[in-house]
Amino acid sequence: MTRRPPARRRTTRRPSRRQSRQDAHIALGVVAIAVLGLVVMVVNWLIAHWWLLLVVAVLAVLGSIGWWQQRTQRAQWAKAQARALRYGLAQLDALSHRQFEYAIRDLMNRDGCTDAVQVGGQGDLGADVKATDPLGRRWVIQCKHRRHGDRGAAVGTPELQVLNGTGRPVHKADVVVMVTNGRITQPGRTFARQQRLHLVDRRLLGSWAAGSRPLWELLPALPPPRKSSQLS
């Protein structure tokens, strides 16, 4: 009995790499032709309907003008609101300490310090509000809010010593200010005068917050401007 030779497996011939590349090139060519044809059709359609482009352009211009006018009106309204900002002492007394800091920031912004910012919090190193006035002077303000106003604890020398130690050396301020809705002790006033610190006590705060004059017109002996006034 003779054995049959084993049957040969049929092998499927795989396409060569060259053939695969040719197929890919053909597919890309077909896609490119289709895209080019679509572009030509769109361009021809736009040329035939040129007036639609004109309408779209006019609508875009009108929309841009309307958006710009609304933005300008909102900015003008915000400035008008800022200029009209007023606080009574009773309103300031009713605020929390953090709200008091934001109120002082808003008053500085009202006066023209467009970069006024509230920075008070843990690790603030004695600065609660920072701002630059229109004459280029850098302000650092520490706020001391007293819930009971002038019946609360007076701001004394220790608080002013902290402010004096960081206002100029750390924060590089030109004007260093302590603002409170309460009282300031006489030793504290003496120390502030010696160290060229500016004090805004309850009386001065009431005049500033309820009036329209900027703070630098109410404080004496301020440093000279860093830049010339536009009115000079």
**Of the residues 82, 109, 131, the one at which a domain ends:** 82
pLDDT in tens, 19-73: 777 777 788 888 888 898 888 888 888 888 788 777 888 888 877 776 666 665 4
In which domain, by residue range, is 27 found?
A: 22-82
Q: Is residue 133 part of a domain?
A: yes
Q: Which of 201, 135, 133, 125 is nearest to 168 (CA)?
A: 125
Largest CA distance in the chain: 130
Report the domain count for the chain.
2
Question: Which region holds residue 219: left if phi is over 0, alpha if psi is between -120 and 50, else beta?
Answer: beta
Phi, then psi, of 49 in degrees rounded to 5: -120, 50
pTM above 0.85, yes or no: no
Position 69 in a domain: yes
pLDDT in tens, 183-202: 999 999 999 999 999 999 99
CB 215 within 8 A of CB 200: yes
Write out the two tokens for 219. Answer: 């404080």
Question: Do both 69 and 143 map to the same domain?
Answer: no
Could you tell me the CATH number of the domain that includes residue 158?
3.40.1350.10
Name the average pLDDT for the chain.
85
User: Which residue in 136, 135, 118 sits closest to 127, CA to CA?
Assistant: 118
Running DSSP on this structure, what letter comes out for residue 150?
Answer: G
Report the alpha-carbon distance of residue 99 to residue 102 in Å, rounded.
5
